[in-house]
Amino acid sequence: MDELNRRTLLRGTAMAGVAVPMAASQANAAAPKNTEPNTEPPKGGGAPNGDWTPERADRERVLAAGFTERKADAWLLLNRAGAALRALPRLHPSDETELPQDIHALQNRLMFRPAYRTYRSIAPQ
């Protein structure tokens, strides 16, 4: 049995330091290469080609709620961004709860604007 000293520890560390990158490079070489572009539309958010047809009813609802044209556009873009983010691979378990909360916080901010605009128009100056 080898004596436990700095030299044997360094030798063992050096061997592990060489083995790990070699194993990683072999795994990368064996992995299939995906050279095809992803042409699938995002799940639940419509195609990102500028076709607003699926969201037209939602746009009419937010306009009826008091949104301006620009705010209605922002609403639909936010919804599309949320759908695109949900279609990405999950990196952490908290992604499933935090992402909807973040999107809803931005939606709430947009929803607040018409109500606040009405409040300011009614409030005494």
What is the structure's pLDDT at 69?
A: 93
How many domains is the chain built from? 2
What is the structure's pLDDT at 30?
A: 55
* Residue 23 structural domain: 1-33
Q: Is 42 a member of any domain? A: no
Q: Is 39 a member of any domain? A: no
One digit per residue, pLDDT tens: the chain, 125 residues?
556 666 665 566 555 554 445 544 554 555 555 444 444 444 444 444 556 667 788 888 899 998 999 999 999 999 999 999 999 998 988 888 999 999 999 999 999 998 888 888 898 87
Assess whether 118 and 59 both reside in one domain. yes
Q: Which residues of 88-113 are buried (b: 16+ CB within 10 A; e: fewer)?
A: eeeeeeeeeeeeeeebeeeeeebbee
What is the structure's pLDDT at 47?
A: 45
Inter-residue contact 49 to 100 (CB < 8 Å): no
Assess whether 24 and 70 both reside in one domain. no
Paired tokens of 15: 């061997």
Q: Is 115 a member of any domain? A: yes
